[in-house]
Amino acid sequence: MIPPVNPSISVDCVIFGFDGKDLMVLLIDFTRSQTAEGKIVEKSSRKLPGSLILENEEIDVAANRTLVELTGLNQVYLRQFGVFSDPRRINSEEDLQWIEKAYGVKVSRIVTITYYALVKIDKSILQPTSEGEVQWHRVQDIRSLAFDHKHILVKALEVLTQQLLNEPIAFELLQKRFSIRQLQNLYEAILGFEIDNRNFRKKVLKLPFLKQLEEKEKEVAHKPARLYKFDKAAYEKEVKRSRLQLNFIRFF
C-alpha cells in the first residue's frame, strides 16, 4: 500500500546537464486541462521534476525518490538550495486542479523545498513518466514554466553560479576526461559571458588537483587537445592542508 502524501509540502528538483556547448535543464512536458468559453481545452506546459512528499519520509529522501521515479536518475550530485513558501505561489485554479488530480488530495497551500542536481547528459536515463515526457532544454531558451518553476530555476542558476566559483562542482557535469576548452565552455555557459582563453588556461593549469593525462581527444575536426581529469583526493588534501574552503577559480 502506497503511503499517503502530505498535501502541504513538496520537493522540486532543478536538474542541470551540459552538452558540450550549452547548459541544459531537464523538464517534464505535461498537459493540463482548462475551461475556455465553456469548453475543456488541453494546454501543454513544462515543469520541473517534483513531488509532494510522503507522510513517512524525510525531505532529502523525497528529493532522491523524485529523481528516480520521474527521471530514472540515481546517485547523482544533489544539493538543497532553497525553500519557496509564498502563500500565493500556487493559486491559479488550473494549477490547483492539476495537483489535486495528480495526487488525489485537496490542496490549498504548498511549501516546496528545492534542490539542484548535476548530471552527465550521456549517462542520464530519460524515461516516460506518469506526468509527461522528460526532455532536455537549453536554459537560455526557457521563457516560462508552470507554477512558479521559472522563479525556482532562476534562483537555482544563481546558486550554481556562486558555487561554481568556490567549489569544483563543474566536474560533475563533465566526463571523467576532458579538455581545457571543454572546461572553459562549461564555465562560459554557466556564467553567461566569454572568458579570455589564455587567462583561463593560466588559472586552471595552476590547480594542483587538475591532472594532465597522456591521452588526447579522438575523432574531432580540429587538432586533438590534451585531456585532463579532476583528482578529488588531491583536492580534499589541499582543502585539509589549507584548513579553508578553496576558491576554485576567480574571474572577478
pLDDT one-digit tens code per residue, 138-190: 999 999 999 999 999 999 999 999 999 888 899 999 999 999 999 999 999 99
Q: What is the pLDDT of residues 118-137, one digit of tens each?
A: 998 865 566 556 566 788 99
Higher pLDDT, 238 or 114: 114
Give the CATH number of domain 169-242; options: 2.40.30.170, 1.10.10.10, 1.10.630.10, 1.10.10.60.
Answer: 1.10.10.10
Establish whether domains 5-164 and 169-242 are of one fold: no
Q: Which helix (H) or strand (E) holds 239?
A: helix 232-242
The domain locations on the chain are 5-164, 169-242
Higher pLDDT, 169 or 73: 169
Tell me which CATH homologous superfamily contains domain 5-164.
Answer: Nucleoside Triphosphate Pyrophosphohydrolase (3.90.79.10)
How does residue 63 score in pLDDT terms, banded at 50, 70 and 90? very high
Task: For residue 41, give the 3-state DSSP assignment.
Answer: strand
Output the nine-digit C-alpha cell for 113. Answer: 523545498
pLDDT at 59: 96
Instruction: Provide the whole-model pTM.
Output: 0.88
Task: For residue 126, give the 3-state DSSP assignment.
Answer: coil
Higher pLDDT, 246 or 89: 89
Cβ-based burial of 185 (10 A; exposed 0-12, middle 13-18, buried ≥19):
buried
